[in-house]
Amino acid sequence: MKTIRLGALSLGAIFLSFVSLGRADSKTSSELTKAVAILHPTQGNQVKGMISFTKSSEGIWVVADIEGLTPGKHGFHIHEKGSCDSVDGSSAGGHFNPHQMPHAAPNDAQRHEGDLGNVMANEKGVAHLEYIDSKISLNGDDSIIGRSVILHAQEDDFKTQPTGNAGARIACGVIEVSE
């Protein structure tokens, strides 16, 4: 009888160990490493594209591929709400700024988390940009997942508060988890 109880206790302990290990592994594997925003034009615009966000050892690798732009620089930002329901992009709210920092350039130490800078469209209206952003995150309280990316009609001047004077919202995309 003692042997059966000890055997059952041993099996129970082994089972609990595996359950604990499974939980530890699932916590580690549940950390998000990639997200994407598919840009759709706001009313009266032709812009479309994709912005991907991939976690790396140095920060978040941001890759933007956009077409249908006028040639020149266009500001783009992460906005606080994950909604592109309005025809003008206003449902996305303001810039994502959980720590109440001033609007600035993406490489400035103090800036909105949402300040991504500018993309540069060529004469065909196509823009490609790649860079590492050390401020944004895919995990935790300040995660960008579920927020939106807004592309603007004009260049972000990195000075004018709180938006960078980047003009109308010409495209919007909600940031979603990607594989």
95 is catalytic: yes
152 is catalytic: yes
Residue from 74, 111, 147, 152 carrying the catalytic annotation: 152
Residue from 74, 103, 111, 147 carrying the catalytic annotation: 103
Residue from 74, 111, 147, 169 carrying the catalytic annotation: 169
40 is catalytic: no
99 is catalytic: no
Residue from 74, 95, 111, 147 carrying the catalytic annotation: 95
Residue from 74, 111, 112, 147 carrying the catalytic annotation: 112
Residue from 74, 79, 111, 147 carrying the catalytic annotation: 79
Question: What's the gap between Cα 60 and its chain centre?
Answer: 9
| Dist. CA 37–CA 62, nearest whole Å | 11
169 is catalytic: yes
- Catalytic annotation, residues: 77, 79, 95, 103, 112, 115, 152, 169
